[in-house]
A and B are shown apart, each in its own frame.
Chain A
Amino acid sequence: MIEIRDLHKKFGALHVLKGIDLEVQKGEVLSVIGASGSGKSTLLYCINGLEPIHQGRVVVDGTDVHAKGTDVNKLRQKLGMVFQQWNSFPHLTVLENVALAPRIVRGLSMAEARDVAAKQLGHVGLGDKLNSYPNALSGGQQQRLAIARALAMEPDYMLFDEATSALDPELVGEVLDTMRLLAEEGMTMICVTHEMGFARDVSDRVAFFHQGTMEEIGPPAQIFGDAQSEHTRRFLANVR
């Protein structure tokens, strides 16, 4: 379980997150929507400790992420992350991209790491690209590579930071399909997204962020059909 209590985050004078309280249960798919600059992406960075926080607590399976003695590198193995810019490592083949972290972080042997990597790449439909370099892949393929890379750490949670925003429109579908597949397999996911269709069809709950606060959270039917907040209704009217 991921438990967030009274989370505050500032960038200089900018107060990006103003007291977030949120719980995500095992097996749940949560979509986070809202305008750019509303703090949704920062929330993900605070969950896996890539950004320090100023107040509050983030607890993952009983471990306080930002506590002094926490081994964040160990913790991050539990928390797979996929970025808006897919960040393939350009100097490694597709297979090496995925096999590197299992080998040097989880300590698998070269052969084991390659097996794990090949399996995950097959899972996201890149089984025939193992020895290509990322620059030979389309954006959609590179984003699926990023998903396989995160999955190869066998994480308990997956964090998606606008995974489809940087893609050409015709490539969005293949990545969303992969994410949908993961959700069906029971992965716990937090998806910051601008894809309202995905949020409505796949998530168990949808959270709407507005200027650093979580304005509203509830099942998709409630958020998309019967939003309580004026801000939520206005945002949804604009994106559709």
Chain B
Amino acid sequence: MNDTIHFFSGFRPADMVFLAEAAWRTLLVYGVSIFLGTVIGTICGWLLFEGRLLAAATLSPVLDIFRSVPLIIQLVLFYNFAPIVGLNLDPFASGVVILTVYTAALVANVARGGIEAVGRPMRRAARSLGMSYWQDLRYVVLPIGGRAVFPAWVGVALGVMKDSALVSVLGYVELLKASQILITRTQEPFLILSLAGAFYFALSYPISRYAAKLQQRWAQ
């Protein structure tokens, strides 16, 4: 009994609230980025598909940079670059900008794969029914291609969720940064890290399992 009391001694209820707020900030920076990143990434994917040569020469090397440089470096670079060009962004805004671009770079490939997954014959069939190019995109490519790459998109989205922890390098107090602060104060590293880990796991595990199930069902 004594042991347990000792174990929790440094950790107060107020700290739980502190962690919960940090978890909310994690979700906030992540939610905004994944939404914007998916929209922009999908547009980039469409450009990569339709633009062919021009896009291959311009857009794809740029996107490639964001996949070949550590996210943490991108964050530090942008955060220190923005003031140079006269932008005064807080850590949250900087985090959102870079996470969005990073997400877009990953989603672009997924989206292009989705458009390619819809075969030419099917698209020709749609056009032969008198659909316009945009109707074809909206009613044929989006549902069929989207379904084909949905599991891959979930993979990207979960990856970005885990990577969003890196925004802490800018001083944004998301969940892991908050954990670190609490650990220094309370000296309860195991308890606090377990709480933080459990939060990520509880979000990521069910979604990844669900996506794997969907993929299996759709593969049949």
Q: Do chains A and B touch in the complex (CB under 8 A)?
A: no
Residues of B within 8 A of A (CB): none
Residues of A within 8 A of B (CB): none
